[in-house]
Amino acid sequence: MSTAEPTGLRRLASELTPTAIVCLAVIALAAFIAIFAPVIAPYDEGTILTNESFASPGNGMLLGSDYLGRDIASRLGFGIRTTLSVALSISVIAFLIGSALGFFAAIMGGWTDTLVSRTIDALISFPAIMIALIVVSSLGSSFLVLIVTVAIIDSTRVFRVARALGMDIVVQDYIEAARVRGEGIWWIIWHELLPNALGPLAAEFGIRFTYAILFVSALSFLGLGVQPPHSDLGLMVKENMQGLLYGSFSPLYPALAIAMVTVSTNILVDWYLKSTGASLPEEL
Amino acid sequence: MNLVTLIAKRLLIGLGILLVVSLLVFVGTEILPGDVANAILGQGATPELLANVRERLGLNDPAYIRYFRWLAGMLTGDFGTSLVNGRPISEQLGERVYNTALLAGTTAAIAVPLAVCLGLICALKPNGLVDRMISTLSLTLISVPDFLVGIVLVSIFAVTLGWLPAIANLRPGADIATIARVLVLPVTALVFTVLAHMVRMTRTSILGVLASPATEMAILKGVPRTRILLVHALPNAIAPIINVIALNMAYLISGIVVIETMFNFSGLGRLAVQAVATRDIPVVQLTAMIFCTVYVLLNLLADIVSIAANPRLRYPK
């Protein structure tokens, strides 16, 4: 495996289209801002610099001020940092839960599979936003509640993808061989299922990551996600919505920042699927 | 299995799902015991007052009794009292339901035919110029947050041009022209949020049908492409398309919550958000139940229509 990987990546790199390069650059830029926000931001995210709400750009403020007179450009940097780190944590947790359960259900089959699948079906029969509203209404919203709730909602989709991918793999001869050798369930999942499902799973990770960004931003926009004094991009949109009425485009910047990352990720996933010839299971 | 038994079975499953949903909504909102009494009294809660309110609301009863009482209330139209204003929830419910139904109905009436048409146009020449344009555009729209479309629409049509109101305030008794003016921006924003998924899925399901041997036969016979699409493929694709539409009502639900909040639209979605923010638990429970019920019913409807439209599904393997 370890010798095959670099050539695979090199082949992928040779198929980069101009669009894919632009998308990669946007994501790299966003990641850079997220990591170095405290270093590169001209001001702290909470510093009130002017008494003027929605001040026009100038006076050292690149994009003007927000409704409290804070520097929008600096807050944008910190917002990207919060949004991306929350979304990344969600996606990683969702993948750990979802793919482990999905592969487990696929390899066990029988009543284990039925039990896990039906439980997931019950969760899916809720609109996701309603699960989030119910949890937030009883537990309140903190980073922990937010990340765990959205990760669990997201893991249901990962589960379905992982299970469908696993179902195609468990019928292969090498799984049979591993079983006959007497390997354990988790050994087979780690050494046989995971490597063979890695391509589509990587694509699914991109899709789940954009979903997490959009979902958390929507919750924050509703005032039910990230709570002040912390801020993410969705909350920035909410806080500055009234600025639109005064002719300030302040809510547009965070919304566009979200869109840049999510659109780039989705286009990249599309390109990745096309150039590797991999496909995600349908009918999900 | 005949059609009626199969549909009856689906209805029973749907009913079972609704029961599970109601249980989860109830447990989910009542994880913190005694919170309702605390929430009503707030800072001025003395132990005697708390005990009094708990007694009056029946909070001392075991959880399962409270659950059945709540469920019976839901079924008989007794939705309880709002903790915030102390008035029966049913008072404000009618107007909210009507407004949201108007918003969602108008959106669906525009988005569904539009999506099917665009999906058909894409499938007419897959990978042609028009298909690639629509596909790229819809992929972009899928990836964009719901509120971005709203912000762009408001900044163009409400702020810059001043043609339409930025706040969708529907007063009871407004005439049709006013209602239409108020609805244009929220409906447009919602159409954008649900359209993209529907177009992509319609395209996929029609292309799936077009790949069948029957279609190949039609091509070999020399049937024109448009006729194959409309007469041969479309009827077979109706079941998957209806499924797609039902699935997308889920996006419509989260879209409605966001767009109603954005436009200060007095509907169910905004009511749910306000209730969560003020911890008005009976209202959270009721709105969550309404949204979940609609969602389950739509999925059920989609199931039944697919079974009716596709005889093969009547004989499960």
Q: What is the ipTM of this complex?
A: 0.81
Q: Is B55 helix (H, G, I), strand (E, B) or coil?
A: helix
Q: What percent of chain B has pLDDT over 70?
A: 89
* More reliable by pLDDT, B243 or A220: A220
* More reliable by pLDDT, B177 or A254: A254
**pLDDT, average across residues A159-179:** 85
- Scan residues 36-95 of B and list those with Cβ closer than 8 Å to A: none
pLDDT for A3: 43
Nearest CA in chain A to B152: A252
Rounded Cα–Cα distance for residues B269 and B25 (Å): 16
Collect all residues of chain B within an 8 Å Cβ-Cβ radius of residue A217.
145, 147
Minimum distance, in Å, between the CA of residue B313 and any CA atom of chain A: 15
pLDDT for A258: 92
Closest by Cα among A110, A74, A68 to A253? A74
Rounded Cα–Cα distance for residues A131 and A215 (Å): 12
pLDDT for A73: 82
A2 located within any domain:
no
**pLDDT, average across residues B119-126:** 83
Rounded Cα–Cα distance for residues A63 and A226 (Å): 23
A104 located within any domain:
yes
A283 located within any domain:
no
Minimum distance, in Å, between the CA of residue B258 and any CA atom of chain A: 7
pLDDT (tens digit per residue) in B207-236: 887 788 888 888 888 888 788 877 877 777
Give me the DSSP letters along A117-151. Answer: HHHHHHHHTS-HHHHHHHHHHHH---HHHHHHHHH
pLDDT interval class at A169 (50, 70, 90) = confident
Output DSSP code: residue B267: S
Tokens of A147: 């990340």
Rounded Cα–Cα distance for residues B63 and B71 (Å): 12
Amino acid at B221: K
A25 located within any domain:
yes
Tokens of B203: 């395209």
pLDDT (tens digit per residue) in A235-272: 888 888 888 877 778 888 899 999 999 999 988 888 88
pLDDT for B37: 67
Residue B317: is its pLDDT beyond 60?
A: no
Residue with tokens 């009721």: B286
Phi-psi region of B88 (alpha: psi -120 to 50; beta: other; left: phi over 0): beta
Max CA-CA distance within chain B? 86
Cβ atoms of B74 and B290 within 8 Å: the answer is: no
Rounded Cα–Cα distance for residues A111 and B133 (Å): 46
pLDDT for A262: 92
pLDDT (tens digit per residue) in A77-132: 898 999 999 999 999 999 999 999 999 998 888 888 888 888 888 777 778 888 88
Cβ atoms of B25 and B9 within 8 Å: the answer is: no
Into how many domains does chain A fold?
1
Q: How far is CA A61 from CA A52, A72, A225, B114, in A?
A: 12, 7, 27, 44
Cβ atoms of B194 and B251 within 8 Å: the answer is: yes
Contacts with B96 (C-beta within 8 Å, 6 or more apart), sequence order: B266, B267, B268, B271
A282 located within any domain:
no
> Which of A138-152, B127-141, B242-256 is least confident?
B242-256
Cβ atoms of A212 and A94 within 8 Å: the answer is: yes
Minimum distance, in Å, between the CA of residue A37 and any CA atom of chain B: 23
Tokens of A102: 């999905």
Minimum distance, in Å, between the CA of residue B255 and any CA atom of chain A: 9
pLDDT (tens digit per residue) in A89-100: 999 999 999 999
pLDDT for A4: 46
Whole-prediction pTM: 0.85
Average pLDDT, chain A: 83
User: Across B213-317, where does the E strand assignment appear?
Assistant: none
pLDDT for A88: 94
* More reliable by pLDDT, B275 or B164: B275
- Scan residues 205-244 of B and list those with Cβ closer than 8 Å to A: none
pLDDT for B38: 67
User: Which of A27, A118, A124, A126 to probe the B interface (max B CBs under 10 A)?
Assistant: A126
Closest by Cα among A245, A276, A206, A224 to A23? A206
A218 located within any domain:
yes
Amino acid at A147: I
A284 located within any domain:
no
pLDDT (tens digit per residue) in B13-67: 888 888 888 888 888 777 655 556 666 666 666 777 777 777 776 667 777 888 8
Tokens of A264: 């780039």
CATH of the domain at A103: 1.10.3720.10
Q: Which residues form the domain of A268?
A: 8-276
Rounded Cα–Cα distance for residues A207 and A198 (Å): 14
User: Which of A133, A217, A260, A263 to probe the B interface (max B CBs under 10 A)?
Assistant: A133
Tokens of B148: 């971005």
Closest by Cα among B284, B290, B247 to B100? B290
Collect all residues of chain A within an 8 Å Cβ-Cβ radius of residue B206.
none
A3 located within any domain:
no
pLDDT for B312: 66
> Which of A46-50, A138-142, B124-128, B152-156 is least confident?
A46-50
Output DSSP code: residue B241: H
Asked if B25 reaches chain A (Cβ–Cβ under 8 Å), the answer is yes
Residue A33: is its pLDDT beyond 70?
A: yes
